[in-house]
Amino acid sequence: MNIESDPSETEPELVALAPEERFQFSCGPDVACFNHCCQDLIQALTPYDVLMLRTHLKLSWPEFLERYAALYTGPGSGLPVVSLRFAPSRERLCPFVTPSGCSVYASRPVSCRLYPVARALHRSRQDGRLSEHFALIREAHCKGFDQGPAMTAHQWIASQGAREGLEASDRLMALIALKNRLRPGRLAPEEEKWVVMAFYDLDRLKQEAAAGHLKGTHVSVAPLPDTADDFAWLNWGLAWVRRALFGDAR
C-alpha cells in the first residue's frame, strides 16, 4: 500500500450529478488506493460528528479535544469550529486510520461517509423551499469508481448511513447563515464559551441547564429534553444558541 502524497496529483474535479443519475463506486481493502484518502485533509467536524466520535471512543469533550481535535474560531462565521488533528508527519495521517482501515468506521464523520459525493443545499427564492444538489468528486488517486452497484446520490447517502448527520449539518448551516446575516464577526468571549458548550460539551450543557444557569433563555426555547439522549440535547443546544444569539429572528 502506497499512501505517500503525489505532488503531481491534479486538483479534484467536481462533476454534476442529477438526482436520478446513477454512478458506481466501491471502496474497501481490495482497492489499490486503500486509505489514501485518510491523509492530508483539513477535516472539519460538525457538532454531530464530534458527538458520534466521542460516544464511540467513550471520551468527554475535554479528553477528545486534548487527544484528537483543534478548536478555533471560524474566520468566516465567527463561530467555534473543530477539526481533527492529523499527524504532523509528511503524510498527515488521520488519527483514526489503521492498516486495516478506519478504526471509527461506524461513527466516522459525515464528510467521510459522503465521499465521493459532494452535496449543496439551494433555497428557492420563489417559495423558500430547500433542494439538494449533488456532484461527484473525481480525484486522480481514487480508484473506487466504476465498480460496485449503480446508485443515485440518495441511495449512496442511505447506504452510508449519512442522512441523520446531513440533517444535523443542515441545522448548523442554518444557524451559521443567520449569524452571518445578523451578527457578522466574532462573538463576545463569554458568548463563545456558551456556544462551545452547546455544540460540543453536552455533559456541561445538561448540568448548566439543570441548574438554571443558561441566562434565563432556556425556558423560552423548548422544554428541556426529558432524556439523557445526547442527540436530543444537541438539537436543544442548537435551538438554545439560536435563541440566545438572535432572539426570535428567522
Alpha helix ranges (H) inside the chain: 47-57, 61-68, 110-114, 153-159, 163-182, 189-200, 202-210, 230-246
Minimal distance in Å, beta carbon 114 to ligand SF4? 11
Minimal distance in Å, beta carbon 48 to ligand SF4? 14
What is the grid cell recorded at 60? 468527554
Minimal distance in Å, beta carbon 183 to ligand SF4? 32
Minimal distance in Å, beta carbon 83 to ligand SF4? 12
Identity of the residue, 73 or 147, whose beta carbon is nearer to ligand SF4 in the bound complex: 147
C-alpha span between 62 and 164 (Å, rounded): 25
Closest by CA position to 197, among listed 211, 209, 184 = 209
Task: Region of 144 please: left (phi>0), alpha (psi -120 to 50) or beta.
Answer: alpha
C-alpha span between 202 and 85 (Å, rounded): 21
For 114, 159, 202, the CA distances from 151, given in Å and listed in that order, are 13, 9, 36
Residues contributing to the site for ligand SF4 (CB under 6 A): 27, 31, 33-38, 94, 96-97, 102, 104, 108-109, 112, 115, 141-144
Identity of the residue, 135 or 174, whose beta carbon is nearer to ligand SF4 in the bound complex: 135
Beta bridge partners of 15: 136
Minimal distance in Å, beta carbon 6 to ligand SF4? 12
Identity of the residue, 43 or 235, whose beta carbon is nearer to ligand SF4 in the bound complex: 43
Identity of the residue, 143 or 183, whose beta carbon is nearer to ligand SF4 in the bound complex: 143
Minimal distance in Å, beta carbon 205 to ligand SF4? 25
Q: Strands across the sheet with 117-123, in order?
A: 13-17, 130-138, 117-123
Identity of the residue, 90 or 181, whose beta carbon is nearer to ligand SF4 in the bound complex: 90
Identity of the residue, 110 or 195, whose beta carbon is nearer to ligand SF4 in the bound complex: 110
Amino acid (1-letter code) at residue 181:
R
